[in-house]
Each structure stands twice: as structure tokens, then as C-alpha cells.
Amino acid sequence: MISKDLRAASREIRSLLHTAQKPLIVAHIRPDGDAIASTLGLGLCLADAGKQCQMVLPDGIPARFKFLEGSRNIRNRMEPGYDLVIALDCSDQKRLGEDLSGIPVDINIDHHITNEHFAKFNLVLPEEPATAAILTRYLPEWGFPLTPAVANALLTGIVTDTIGFRTSNVSPDSLRQTAALIEAGANLSDVYENALTYQSYAASLLWGLALSRLQKEGKLAWTSITMEDRKKAGYSGRDDADLTNQLSAIENLNIVILFNEQNDCKIKVSWRSHSGIDVSKIAQRFGGGGHPPAAGAEIKGNLNEVEDMVLTVTKKYLKAQKSKGEN
């Protein structure tokens, strides 16, 4: 059931999307598959409807997503002259990056439970497994047809955010949406291989270096990717090369953490959890956010400091959860 507020937001969004001539679509920094896919899915729809559409992701897009039609039209910087701003898959405005964090946002479509409703109209559905899933549901309702290119993009968002339909928030509805996307021309095996399975040789080397330092204490395991690792492996991206998801595949753990050293004394920390432990609460304490089973934060400091701080807080949190469970 969709609430009255959401229905009202959906009506407003529909009319804004139809009236706009020069929409600007943005998503969160260091974009993942869902951020890229949602940007492309909506961008291609609006372009098909004859609009002069700007798609802007300040960090560009990882090579694995360049198979998507229209991905070459994504820009790093916005140009003036837009008449509508749409933020996708982004829970707070800071996550749009420096250039975009100050501009007024008209529409925010997202599925993060930590969403701050920073836009004029917010369509936030935390029960949906991906922002692309929300668009799959609403775009046809708003009168924008799902072409094969749009469907392929949206399917990429669902497949990546659910790690191939493996997360606990995959519902019968998500599978029905997926079926609708395949009917509209999306290619599931192609999306799966390109967006999820394939990885570069450099990424494999990077995994090896980071995994050689994997540590475990009770039901908590962690490791890090350092600047040095990236150099040694010849890995040019600043992302985690999907290692966090790999860590979360280790059995019998409650929480895994990846510390990803960025270039400027900043550490990107990613948490994944099992057994219903809400790691978004820990991430929020460090100024980050996310979903109950998957969250992240960017923390200032050197690797050792940040590791100590985060491990202490996470262990305390695990202990508190445990004693809560025992009561």
C-alpha cells in the first residue's frame, strides 16, 4: 500500500517531469550500479520524451558499466541552464558531491532508510531493493515507456544492489519488476556478466593484497585496501573493487568491515551485516548512512586511527546487540 503523501509526491513528480525542458539528473558520489543505472534509466526516458537532459556524476563511472547504452553521455560537471533538478539513490545532499551539494533539489527518488528528504518532493521507498526498482514501477505509471535501453539500465540497478537477487529485501514484487524489464527488452545474462561477474586482472590482484591482511575477532572480520595496494596492483579506481561484497560472503560472521584508504587522509569505511544487525546506525555515528545490512561512512584520519576507532565502536555495538538478544 502506498501512503497518501507518497501518492501526492508521485503526482507532483509526474507533472514536473513532463513540464521540464532541461532536466538535470544527479546521483551520489562514487556511484554504484544503482546510482548509474537509475541516472541512465531516467535520463534515457526523458531524452526519449524530447527533453534536453543532463546526466551528471562528478566521479564518472567505473568501466564495468560502460556497456550500458547512453553511458557515454554522462558528464562529470553540470552546465547552467537546467530547469529541474532530480537526485537519485542519494540519502543526503552532501553525498551529491561538492559542486552539487548547494543547489536546490526539486525531486529526490531513493530507497535508503537514512534518507533526509532534502528535496521539494521526495519519493523514498526504503522497502524497495534499488532506486532502479522504484523507477521500474513508476516510470510507466508516469507515462514514460520502458524501451530496451531503459529496461537494461534499470535491470542493472536491481541486479547490482541486490548482488544478483541475493539480499533479504528481494520480494516477489522485485522479481515481477525484473520480469517486466526482461519483457521490455532487458538482457539478464548480459547485465549479470558485465555488471556483476566480470572483474579486471588488476582488481583480482588488489583482492589478493587486501585479503592477505584479513582479520577476525569473534563474529567480526575486517581488512583494508591501502593506497600502496592500489599502486602495486595497478588498480586505478578509488572504489573497493567489489571486495566488500566478497567479504560479506564469509560464513558465520555477524559484521564485516572494509577500510578503503582514499588519497587525502580520508578512509572510506563499509560495513556489511547478517542476522538482522543494523549497521546503518554505526555508520550514522560516523556521519555516514546506508541500509540496515549495508552501510558506509567517510572518516578523516589515517588508516590506523580510523581502524581503531571504528573497531572499538563496532565491537561495543555488537556486544550491546548480543546482550539485548539474550534478555
Instruction: Provide the binding-site residues for Mn ion, judged by CB under 5 A.
Output: 34, 89, 131, 161
| Shortest Å, Cβ 237 to Mn ion | 19
C-alpha span between 66 and 72 (Å, rounded): 7
Are the CB atoms for 172 and 204 separated by under 8 Å?
no
Nearer to Mn ion, 90 or 318 (CB): 90
The residue number whose beta carbon is nearest to Mn ion equals 34
Tell me phi and psi for residue 258, to 5 degrees.
Answer: -115, 130
Nearer to Mn ion, 139 or 206 (CB): 139
Nearer to Mn ion, 56 or 130 (CB): 130
CA max distance for the chain:
60
CA Rg, the chain, in Å?
20
Residue where the block lists cell 533538478: 85
Nearer to Mn ion, 70 or 129 (CB): 129
Name the pairing type of β-strands 74-75 and 23-27. unpaired
Tell me phi and psi for residue 23, to 5 degrees.
Answer: -70, 145
* Amino acid (1-letter code) at residue 71: S
| Shortest Å, Cβ 161 to Mn ion | 5
C-alpha span between 100 and 87 (Å, rounded): 10
Supply 253's cell numbers: 560472521
| Shortest Å, Cβ 128 to Mn ion | 9
DSSP 278: -
C-alpha span between 44 and 56 (Å, rounded): 13
Nearer to Mn ion, 127 or 305 (CB): 127
| Shortest Å, Cβ 155 to Mn ion | 14
DSSP 74: E
| Shortest Å, Cβ 319 to Mn ion | 30
Nearer to Mn ion, 95 or 230 (CB): 95
Nearer to Mn ion, 113 or 303 (CB): 113
Name the pairing type of β-strands 84-88 and 107-110. parallel
| Shortest Å, Cβ 135 to Mn ion | 11
Count Cβ atoms within 10 A of the Cβ of residue 164 and give its class: 0-12 exposed, 13-18 middle, 19 or more buried.
middle
| Shortest Å, Cβ 108 to Mn ion | 13
List of E strands, 59-180 = 74-75, 84-88, 107-110, 121-124
Nearer to Mn ion, 169 or 187 (CB): 169
| Shortest Å, Cβ 89 to Mn ion | 4
C-alpha span between 278 and 202 (Å, rounded): 32
Residues 6+ apart with CB under 8 A from 125: 6, 111, 134
